[in-house]
Structure 1
Amino acid sequence: MTDKFDRFAALHAPRAPLVLFNIWDAGSAKAVAAAGAQAVATGSASVAMANGFADGEAVPLDLVLDIAARIVAAVEVPVTIDFEGGYAVEPEAVAANVARLAATGAVGCNFEDQVVGGEGLHPCAFQAERIAAIRAATGPAFFINARTDIFLQAKPDTHDEAKVDAAIERAHAYAAAGASGLFVPGLANLELLARVCWESPLPVNFMAFPGAPDAAAVAQTGVARISHGPFPYRAAMQGLEGAAREVLGG
């Protein structure tokens, strides 16, 4: 298992990023692994939609953990799970939940700083406490991909140097607390993204989306990881619906 942790961490190389084509169950994990993926990652929205729930921790925690365990058992490559806000607020409760996730065999998780079901972000210091509790509960190798929603919660035309300053402040606080990576979904301005990559003490994760800059341009900013979020699931469901319409319409 240690080898999987080491392999996964080593895949985060600036300008040669790990590409994660996000999955939602054991079947989709096997398909993506068969395509040559070096690791697989769930997307919380994809898992939720595939099971009839809304995003935002609406999927019961026990079901999330069961899905994670099934994915880990289905593939040989490292598995990381989008664990949203940890299914709790207080650091001790978050840490207990992530410890259960680590027990499934997952090598890491996404952990976000937005207030799930509320507004805004958790204060930086409090989010750092939550990350530190996760680190203490999971040991040194578990990959905590600390997501900040600074950019996702703001319109792209408001992304500016001040928001980058705030993201970098959080990156340093999260790194000091034990985070392994920094996820900045929503940020697609390459100049601002390059500054985040340059000043972050953590490897940076970009989220691809339709209309975003292409992977080669993103990689040149210094990004170490590119995720695809809910978009693979949406494309798969569009393909399934189209195929069904052809058959049923005929």
Structure 2
Amino acid sequence: MTDRVEVFRALHRRPAQNDPLILPGPWDAASARALEAAGYPALATPSAGVAASLGYEDGRTPTEEMFAAVARIVRAVDVPVSADVEGGYGLAPKELVERLLETGAVGCNLEDSEAGVLKDPRRHADWLAEVCAAAGGRLFVNARVDTFIQSVAEPERAIERAALYVAAGADCVYPIGAPVDVLPLLRAGIQGPVNAIAKVGEGPSPMELGERGATRITFGPYLQRRAAEGIAGLLR
């Protein structure tokens, strides 16, 4: 397991700025196998895509079902899988880490807002530090910064939160929803890898996002939604 985490961690050390790590998001075992067959070296589950595959609204997936879905995805492939576990489902850090390790995941996304409200950044950083300590290097922690999606447009607020989370031990920071023209400023102000989200077939390409400062690219629920649109088109 430790070897898989180190492989995943090494993938974030990119040789060139315009060559970001691209982590497509499987929502079930079948999509995970398709993405692995396409040649991607690692995967990152999107909580919203998994929720849709299980018949729930985003943010409404029961804890047990989310961890079970992640475990099925991990079992289906040989490449490392990171799991979006939203805000941690109210679990204590030690239990959250144990549950993640039981699925076989090598990493996790953890959000810093709840029900549309940003958490206190210092308290959240303290909680992240407990998660990282409990993980002991066995998980790659991607700390999401929700300022932009919660209508806090100043990049400085995102950078301040990112600094606290990196100091707490986070391996990567994810300023979700950051405008493309702000990425260079975030890259300059944040230590370590920076995650950006890309849409499928529209907006800046992963390479362009990399040139702006993104270290890794994820797609949120967009692959799952485009797949659903494709099925609807076939049926029509």
Identical positions, percent: 42
In structure 2, C-alpha distance between the alignment counterparts of 1:75 and 1:205, rounded to whole Å: 23
After superposition, what is the alpha-carbon deviation per residue over 1:33-53, rounded to whole angstroms, capped at 9, x for unaligned? 000011011111100011110
Runs of 4+ in 1 over 6 A off after TM superposition: none
- Is contact 1:86–1:98 with CA below 8 Å preserved after alignment? no
In structure 1, C-alpha distance between the alignment counterparts of 2:194 and 2:133, rounded to whole Å: 22
In structure 2, C-alpha distance between the alignment counterparts of 1:129 and 1:212, rounded to whole Å: 35
Asked whether 1:204 is paired with 2:186, we answer no
Q: Which residue of 2 aligns with 1:152?
A: 149
SS of 1:174's partner is helix
Match of 1:85 among 79, 84, 87: 87
Deviation (angstroms), 1:63: 1.2
In structure 1, C-alpha distance between the alignment counterparts of 2:194 and 2:81, rounded to whole Å: 18
Match of 1:130 among 122, 127, 130: 127
Deviation (angstroms), 1:99: 2.2
**TM-score under structure 1 normalisation?**
0.88
SS of 1:152's partner is helix
Distance 1:27 1:228, change over 3 A: same
After superposition, what is the alpha-carbon deviation per residue over 1:21-71, rounded to whole angstroms, capped at 9, x for unaligned? 111111110000000011011111100011110111x11111111111111
- Write the mapping of 1:15-30 to structure 2, written as runs, cut at 5 A: 15=17, 16-30=19-33
AA aligned to 2:126 is E
Q: Which residue of 2 aligns with 1:70?
A: 72
- Is contact 1:147–1:184 with CA below 8 Å preserved after alignment? yes
Q: Which residue of 2 aligns with 1:248?
A: none
Q: Which residue of 2 aligns with 1:234?
A: 225
AA aligned to 1:124 is P
Deviation (angstroms), 1:184: 1.3
Deviation (angstroms), 1:122: 0.4
- Is contact 2:180–2:209 with CA below 8 Å preserved after alignment? no
Q: Count residues with an aligned counterpart.
A: 232
Deviation (angstroms), 1:223: 1.3
In structure 1, C-alpha distance between the alignment counterparts of 2:95 and 2:209, rounded to whole Å: 35
RMSD over aligned Cα, in angstroms?
Answer: 1.5
After superposition, what is the alpha-carbon deviation per residue over 1:133-163, rounded to whole angstroms, capped at 9, x for unaligned? 1112211231110001111222xxx73xxx2
Asked whether 1:47 is paired with 2:50, we answer yes
User: Runs of 5+ in structure 2 lacking a partner?
Assistant: none
Q: Which residue of 1 aligns with 2:139?
A: 142
In structure 2, C-alpha distance between the alignment counterparts of 1:181 and 1:214, rounded to whole Å: 21
- Is contact 1:95–1:130 with CA below 8 Å preserved after alignment? no
Q: Which residue of 1 aligns with 2:8?
A: 8
Deviation (angstroms), 1:200: 0.5
Asked whether 1:109 is paired with 2:108, we answer yes
In structure 2, C-alpha distance between the alignment counterparts of 1:64 and 1:94, rounded to whole Å: 17
Deviation (angstroms), 1:199: 1.5
After superposition, what is the alpha-carbon deviation per residue over 1:68-122, rounded to whole angstroms, capped at 9, x for unaligned? 111111111000001100001xxx624412321122110000001011xx33210
In structure 2, C-alpha distance between the alignment counterparts of 1:101 and 1:85, rounded to whole Å: 13
**TM-score under structure 2 normalisation?**
0.93
In structure 1, C-alpha distance between the alignment counterparts of 2:131 and 2:183, rounded to whole Å: 27
AA aligned to 1:41 is A
AA aligned to 2:125 is A
Larger radius of gyration between Structure 1 and Structure 2: 1
- Is contact 2:148–2:178 with CA below 8 Å preserved after alignment? yes
- Is contact 2:41–2:80 with CA below 8 Å preserved after alignment? yes
Stretch of structure 1 that moved more, 78-87 or 221-230:
221-230
Q: Which residue of 1 aligns with 2:185?
A: 195
Q: Which residue of 2 aligns with 1:217?
A: 208
